Amino acid sequence: MSGGTQGRRRDAGRSRELLLAAASDLFAERGFDRTTTRDIGERAGVDPALIARYFGSKTLLYIAALAAEQGDMTPADLFDEQRLHEAFDRADRRGPVPLLQVAVQQLSEPAAQDAARAALHARLVEPLRERFVREGADRPALRAELMVAAVTGILLGRHSGAFDELGRADPGDLVGLLRDTLLSES
């Protein structure tokens, strides 16, 4: 009897992982509002009703996807060269992540909006603000938000099809230009 229980746990864990991975991909591709629980279940290959069972709701699944994206790491500020390269690489591989999308479009669900905003500030804005405080920069919070908004716009614009040169540019070149341009006066 315990072998059956272990099998169910393993299946439950796998189903939860599949739902989380599918949700992360779909939220990145379509955003929170245009992703349905049915879409997530289909992409995961499991019954979408399991979202309620394992996560409670689509909103709580979104929050779990944001947390999984962060992992246990303490983020370097966005203008750390390696971190900026990783942001461009990730956006090129997966498209704009939900964290960036919330910077330009409010979500319809207040709890999802609050969670995404908190994650955006914790992962991107706050590390930059701390950097600017250490450097004695004027208005560090505003400067950090301005830089995160600029990088967000660049990453989203790069994938929108609206900017030919930006879309074709080598990410390494963009990182260098971006750092030179935005950090020259800080």
125-161: pLDDT as tens digits:
999 999 999 999 999 999 999 999 999 889 888 888 8
Mean pLDDT confidence for 86-108: 78
Structure tokens at 40: 């997530």
CATH 1.10.10.60 positions along the chain are 1-71
Tens digits of per-residue pLDDT, 15-72? 999 999 999 889 888 888 889 999 999 999 999 999 999 999 898 898 888 888 766 5
Q: What is the pTM of this model?
A: 0.73
Contacts (Cβ under 8 Å, ≥6 apart) of 179? 79, 81, 84
Q: In this predicted structure, what is the pLDDT of residue 84?
A: 87
What residue type is 92 in one-letter code?
D
**Rounded CA separation 143/132 (Å):** 8
Residue 1 has pLDDT above 60, yes or no: no
- The total of other beta-carbon atoms located within 10 Å of residue 37's CB is 18
Mean pLDDT confidence for 75-97: 81
Q: In this predicted structure, what is the pLDDT of residue 134?
A: 95
**Rounded CA separation 177/146 (Å):** 17
Q: Which CATH architecture has domain 1-71?
A: Orthogonal Bundle (1.10)
Structure letter (DSSP) for residue 169: S
